[in-house]
Amino acid sequence: MFLKSSFVLSVIAAASYTCQAQSQLVASQIMASAINMDGIEANFMFAPLANNGGAQVWIEVKSGLSKKFAISPTGGFEYHIHVNPVGPNNDCMATGGHLDPTNVGAAKCLAAKPDKCQEGDLSGKHGELKATESGAIPPQSYNDKYIKFSGETTTIAGRSVVIHNNGTRVACGNIYPFKQSSSPSTSTNSASSAPGGEVQSQHSGASGGQVVVTMAMAVAGTVFGALMAL
Ligand SMILES: [Cu+2]
């Protein structure tokens, strides 16, 4: 990571104000998904908001989702949280359907009425990943009130993120607990456990730490509070 040292300095510089700004995040329970298959690389992070207030979501697409690849005329890619983890050999079909604990079903999700959407229909609630000719998709962050971190049927833990191209599943990655020890940006902490745990064993290999560092560089100023509180 060529920007790592400047990133660490930024964390220190930003520390005084981000503690206050991000105090509502329950950073110890951050979940992450690092997709890396078929040339598509994308990172997702889900940080719980206090009082079961949903999640702050960070998304960074690093490669693979160019407008040339998109079948959709808008160049957009849908993405969702699916109920099951990724199958062997990156089998995205094994992820099953969308996370939908309230049985909304296939009803059209309107961004203006996110309470009527499936919990896992992230692009329905927040818009598709909009590709450009070059494939550069701006990093984004938003809050989603409906994402849950507990409950057998509602939690996003142990599930997966799937990216679609006009319906077809083109890439997927498991959602696993982010562990601070894997983060090179928190090198003052001892590395006590492997990142990800069992869920990540089917995963492409990127560590939670890499997710956070790249995410933090992409969404500078947002993730610092999460890192501090870990
Ligand atoms: Cu999907």
13 CA → ligand 1 middle, Å: 39
97 CA → ligand 1 middle, Å: 7
201 CA → ligand 1 middle, Å: 21
Mean pLDDT by 10 residues, the chain (230 residues): 38 36 69 94 93 92 90 91 97 98 91 95 96 81 95 97 96 87 36 32 40 47 41
pLDDT of res. 208? 47
pLDDT of res. 74? 83
Domain ranges of the chain: 4-229
122 CA → ligand 1 middle, Å: 9
147 CA → ligand 1 middle, Å: 15
60 CA → ligand 1 middle, Å: 18
16 CA → ligand 1 middle, Å: 39
Both tokens of 103, joined, read 């049985």
pLDDT of res. 68? 87
Q: In this predicted model, what pLDDT tens digit does every residue of 127-176 receive, in sequence order? A: 999 988 777 788 899 999 999 999 999 999 999 999 999 999 999 999 99
| Superfamily covering domain 4-229 | Superoxide dismutase, copper/zinc binding domain (2.60.40.200)
pLDDT of res. 139? 87
